[in-house]
């Protein structure tokens, strides 16, 4: 899954996957953006600070999107609502808003106190009081 996120970032920024991987490895080691931009130019093929910041933010976004996709697929499997077409649509999403709009019809609504009271059979009592 991580390599797929590397590919997404590389494609979005028009750089190589190895550049993305190198920068993210430096982040994992605790390096800062200015350090990478100034002292690791040869390893990153002369990426500037803006590109390095973009790699960091796009990777975080892609990681969050992947995690959300997994959670949605898992939830739909639990509810026996997942089919191949839906799974394909979910996996092809590139934006969180797109993903949430696909998932929206399958979300269970919040249970309000009124809904809970109706389920408990208190509607006739409420109508008498009203």
Q: How far apart are CA 80 and CA 45, in angstroms?
A: 48
- What pTM was estimated for this model as a whole? 0.77
Q: Using one digit for the tens of pLDDT, what is the confidence trace for 13-44?
A: 999 999 999 999 999 999 999 999 999 999 99
The CA distances from residue 41 to 28, 37, 97, 98, in Å, are 17, 6, 35, 36
Look at residue 128 in the predicted model and tell me its pLDDT: 86
pLDDT at 89: 93
pLDDT at 81: 87
- The pLDDT assigned to 129 comes to 86
At 56 the pLDDT is 96
What's the confidence (pLDDT) of residue 123?
A: 87
Q: pLDDT digit string (tens) for 58-68?
A: 999 999 999 99
Contacts of 20 (CB under 8 A, 6+ apart): 6, 9, 10, 13, 55, 59
How many angstroms separate the first and last alpha carbons of the chain?
A: 57
Dist. CA 59–CA 1, nearest whole Å: 12
How far is 67 from 80, CA to CA, in rounded Å?
20
Share of the chain above pLDDT 70, in %: 99
Q: Where do the domains of the chain lie, and which CATH numbers do they carry? A: 2-129 (1.10.10.650)
């Amino acid at each position: 899954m991580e390599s797929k996120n590397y590919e997404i970032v590389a494609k979005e920024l028009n750089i190589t996957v190895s550049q993305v991987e190198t920068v993210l490895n430096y982040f994992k080691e605790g390096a800062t953006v200015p350090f990478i931009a100034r002292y690791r130019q040869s390893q990153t093929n002369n990426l500037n600070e803006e590109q390095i910041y973009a790699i960091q933010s796009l990777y975080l976004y892609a990681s969050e999107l992947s995690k959300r996709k997994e959670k949605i697929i898992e939830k739909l499997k639990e509810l026996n609502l997942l089919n191949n077409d839906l799974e394909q649509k979910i996996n092809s999403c590139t934006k969180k808003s797109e993903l949430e709009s696909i998932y929206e019809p399958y979300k269970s609504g919040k249970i309000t106190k009124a809904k809970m009271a109706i389920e408990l059979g208190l509607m006739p009592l409420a109508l008498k009081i009203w």
